[in-house]
Structure 1
Amino acid sequence: METLNQKAFEELIESRNLKTLRVRLMGMEALDIAILLESVSEEEMALAFRLLPKDLAVEVFDDFDGPTQHRLLESLTHRVVSQLLEAMSPDDRTELLEEVPASVTRRLLGLLSPEQRQVTLQLLGYEENSAGREMTPYFVDLRSNMTVAQAMERIRKLAVDRETIYECYVIDPQRHLTGTVSLKELVLARLESSVADVTQPNPRRVFTHSDREEAAS
């Protein structure tokens, strides 16, 4: 589908042909939508943004620069902002909150659920460019004494709320990290096998205060 230009966008807005506008926007790449909306008024941007499906809206929001994100948040209702913030990854949300004034940060934190607020406050406590900022709190942890069948059941229950399920962290009964296991290894293992039997021991450890470039190397 042809990318929507600013003139065609404004014509659809003025005629209130929102159904066609939504279809046209959904046929575009997130970055192209972001570039388009950055060039229109706050009212038009907010109206068009509300037409996007949630997953696409989050992608578009991530592609906005900081000032545009701030402008949009000021134009949206608390309910829409709350849904948007909850859908963002913790590290992207933290980066956003650092770029807005402190008063706005406090207001936005108040829109988060208690769990998400705690996670975000924790990440805000890490220094910029530290490994702690890049670490997701949404991973799958498995007990070493689980069977593979129990591990797969736990992954199924947690998958919808986790950023990744392809590598899981294995802990002992005292919650000490003992290794990692991939989803592929679990799928190929016998259901009655122990998670400990397929665990890769001695995982690489990184401190939260380490530089993120060094941690990634």
Structure 2
Amino acid sequence: MGKTDDERAFFSEAWIEPPLKKTTAAAVEKPHYLGHRDRLRERFAASGPDALPDYELLELLLFRLIPRVDTKPIAKALIARFGSLAEVFGAPAALLEEIKGIGPAAALELKIIAAMAQRMARGEVRGREVLSNWTQLLDYCRSAMAFESREQFRILFLDKKNGLIVDEVQQTGTVDHTPVYPREVVKRALELSASAIILVHNHPTHPLSITLDHAYTH
């Protein structure tokens, strides 16, 4: 075998690197939270909201606000920080953004949803006998004002059946003081023909504390 034959043999046996395999979508491992999201949606669809604790309901919402992140620890952190769903939505955007994973966009979306929820809650208590369900009334007030940075003096004006006529913020003060003018309270009650009023004020230094007092106008 001559020199030419030797060269041919050498090059025919030389290592040729195999072509790279194309990576298919199925071969890429999906993030663990994607399966969790599907299971959570299925549980909600099959059993309804009562089957889920507060943090899992919040997770379902955060799926859309924060699409490519595991939102379970974020939801748990929000509930731990503020206490309940109502108080999460009642918290100012600046406080929401203190939670890792909640940026300005997500905080704004939560406040938009909070505004819708407050409108719904106001509709649920308006015209109904609010004094028959103090828990619902307290939840409504907490969602509306618990995390306000300044003290508010709020009045719920009731008709003769103790149904809500209107809910108004009468005065806004400082972090620990709100001026109250009885003449203005009575004047507004007469304007609305209110039979009773509920006086509400918050405590900015203790955000989860709300004080309610009930009085009859005649």
Normalised by the length of structure 2, the TM-score is 0.31
Q: Which has the larger radius of gyration?
A: 2
**Structure with higher helix content:** 1
**Structure with higher strand content:** 2
Normalised by the length of structure 1, the TM-score is 0.32
